[in-house]
Amino acid sequence: MPALLELEEAYSRIRRDPEFKKELAGLLKDYVGRPSPLYFARHLTEALGGPKVYLKREDLNHTGAHKINNTLGQGLLAQRMGKKRVIAETGAGQHGVATATVAALLGMECDIYMGTEDIRRQRLNVIRMKLLGARVIPVESGSCTLKDAMNEAIRDWVTNVRHTHYVIGSVAGPHPYPRLVRDFQSVIGQETRAQMRQQEGRLPDCLVACVGGGSNAMGLFYPFLKDQVRFIGVEAAGHGIDSGHHSATLVAGEVGVLHGACSYLLQDPWGNIREAHSLAPGLDYPGVGPEHSYFKETGRAQYVAINDQEALEGFKLLSRTEGILPALESAHAVAYVQKAAGEFKPGELVVINLSGRGDKDVEAVAELVEAQ
Amino acid sequence: MKKINAMFKRLAARNEKALIPYITAGDPDLDTTRGLVLEMARRGADLIELGIPFSDPLADGPTIQAACQRALRQEVNLPKIIDLVRALRRETDIPLVLMGYYNPILSYGLDRLARDAAQAGVNGFIIPDLPGEEARDWHRAACDAGVAPIFLAAPTSGPSRIRKIGALTRGFLYYVSVTGITGARAGLPEDLKTALAEVRTLIKCPLAVGFGISTPEQVRDLAPLVDGVVVGSAIVQRLACRTDAAVVREIGDFVAELKAPLR
């Protein structure tokens, strides 16, 4: 708790510091490569025959996903707080890579917790983290995936809190993390606003993003909070909601408390946390950011679920129509628009957040396609 | 709640300190837990903490994580633990405190749990992932039902928070000896004694220390500074993967060894 209070205090002070803002903006531009393009996906639009689809190209960021927006912000924050070491949990490995990258850039020690199941599924990202100078610590407890990695990271943090900053990768966990991560990811929505105005002369009608913990979705949604823009968050239905093997926390979970936040959770009748499942490791989390739960309760956003097979179809569709391999996580958002294309009015402007690139998933997808 | 207060008063009058052993309920099964509680009560325990197994025990090290997993495989849950306490109350009067994470407690329902637990004979709850700042509803529910909401303070808490926690907690204040998780350690932090002496000046309620305390020597070392000492992982470790009848007596022997320096 004192560590969280310290972080909250430091963040509320540092976020207004002009030097901090300048350094972050400079690195986002020259190091990450922002602004990321808002690309009109002409061929995908033609193939779907419904809405006019734009892709927010977070996959083109340095390290290949939206995660770096947050790790850069938190890295600079940690540096100003005098922390010498950063730790992180990772599922798909994207957040781990983004944290290891920033640690290398800022000269900080870095340990990444990763479930052994994810280490197996995301071999390439493990190699990348090691090349960047991070230690990858395998987590063998529980389901050996993201939630267990987060448990271990929290245990490390409470042990080494005096000199270590915990870089949470999503809008989840205890306050102030959901807010901090939302703020650092909001650059996605801010750019999208300006880019859409420039390209179409108006705001989009609908924003679609995948939701595991929910940081890429929140980053896209939040700057449109007060606008007449629909938000659709796409969760992972895994083998199907009825199978019980899914990660659809908002669609099929109940309210509870995990990792210091009150939010929707996958849990059994006694309040134990259930294992989540998705072929996309970055969605494999039995909780979700508390602000998404709030959006669900108020009706501000709609949450839907796409199963493994549909996500794979979305992956193939985008690869073939646009020549873009999406991350399996982002493929869920593509698959939703594919599935629901008929429900959009023709010409409606839809933005899909292409939160990451699919290079990391190529082996897994090839295996799945062959198996079929 | 009253039972805990009375226990500390009784011991203080004899210049004695409380031994507070922890075991995870249902590890390896509920029958053994029942036997262990009775044995530990006979051999010198003054208050017993029963862990509620949870899928994600964030404040616990590998020993208690594994105990939780073993208990969960036996499908142990809060209603079964409350039944166990009800059964134990026919055989022992020792103060019993449940230690568990917030989500199972929330899922049961705060008011309903506090009432059911009090009725069964539970005397208090320790919820390591519920900070005082977020505990208003639970504090009221527990106090209304007469079970003690026991709060923890850590080396990073700082004097002003420790004062607040001291005012909020009932029964005793649980001081966490280390910044970190549960689990036996070879050595305790060098500044622990200074810290305990300072905590003592900040609070009025009894003070117990736990996390990482595993030997009679460590217990002896800390005894003068506190009203009670919690030993958890060192007991759970001795219990791990044992199903033979001798284990209950062996744990009893260990409890007696731990209690000796507290008399």
Which domain CATH number covers B58? 3.20.20.70
- In three-state form (DSSP H/G/I as H, E/B as E, the rest C), the secondary structure along A32-74 is HCCCCCEEECHHHHHHHCCCEEEEEEHHHCCCCECHHHHHHHH
| pLDDT value for A323 | 98
Query: Which amino acid does the sequence have at B199?
Result: V
Q: Residue A158 and residue B179: Cβ atoms within 8 Å?
A: yes
Q: Residue B157 and residue A2: Cβ atoms within 8 Å?
A: yes
Return d(Cα B103, Cα A264) in angstroms, integer: 12
Closest chain A residue to B162, measured at CA:
A2
Return d(Cα A329, Cα A325) in angstroms, integer: 11
Q: Residue A273 and residue B56: Cβ atoms within 8 Å?
A: yes
> Of B98, B101, B107, B133, which to mutate for an interface test with A (greatest number of A Cβ within 10 Å)?
B107
> Of A158, A175, A254, A264, which to mutate for an interface test with B (greatest number of B Cβ within 10 Å)?
A158
- Count of beta carbons in the 10 Å neighbourhood of residue A197: 12
pLDDT tens digits, one per residue of A229-244? 999 999 999 999 999 9
Interface confidence, given as ipTM, is: 0.94
* Full domain range(s) for residue B247: 2-262
Residue ranges in chain A modelled with pLDDT below 70:
none
Return d(Cα A358, Cα B126) in angstroms, integer: 46
Return d(Cα B233, Cα B230) in angstroms, integer: 10
| pLDDT value for A91 | 85
Which chain A positions have a beta carbon within 8 Å of B104's beta carbon? 270-272
CA distances from A190 to A197, A221, A269 (A): 11, 9, 41
Catalytic residue positions of B, numbered: 49, 60
pLDDT tens digits, one per residue of B101-143? 999 999 999 999 999 999 999 999 999 999 999 999 999 999 9
Q: Residue B107 and residue A271: Cβ atoms within 8 Å?
A: yes
| pLDDT value for B243 | 75
Active site residue A319: no
- Hey, what are B194's tokens? 């200074």
Closest chain B residue to A143, measured at CA:
B55
Closest of B137, B117, B145 to residue B50, by C-alpha? B117
Query: Which amino acid does the sequence have at B75?
Result: E
**Total number of domains constituting chain B:** 1
Active site residue A89: yes
Angle (nearest 5°) at CA B173 between B138 and B113: 25
| pLDDT value for A96 | 97
Q: Pick from A155, A260, A267: which is nearest to B107 by CB? A: A267
Considering the candidates A143, A170, A263, A355, report the single residue annotated as catalytic. A355
Do residues A281 and A93 make contact, with C-beta atoms less than 8 angstroms apart?
yes
Q: Pick from B56, B133, B161: which is nearest to A258 by CB? A: B56
Q: Pick from A2, A257, A265: which is nearest to B158 by CB? A: A2
Considering the candidates A52, A67, A296, A360, report the single residue annotated as catalytic. A67
Q: Residue A270 and residue B104: Cβ atoms within 8 Å?
A: yes
Question: Measured between CA atoms, how close is A267 to chain B, in angstroms?
Answer: 9
Average pLDDT per consecutive 10 residues, chain B (263 residues; last block may be shorter): 95 97 96 97 98 95 93 96 98 98 98 98 97 96 98 94 97 94 84 96 97 96 97 95 87 98 96
A88 phi and psi angles, rounded to 5 deg = -155, 160
Q: Residue A256 and residue B58: Cβ atoms within 8 Å?
A: no
**Reported pTM:** 0.94
- Strands lying side by side in the sheet with B173-176: B148-150, B124-126, B96-99, B48-51, B18-24, B228-231, B207-210, B173-176, B152-153
| pLDDT value for A369 | 86
| pLDDT value for A169 | 95
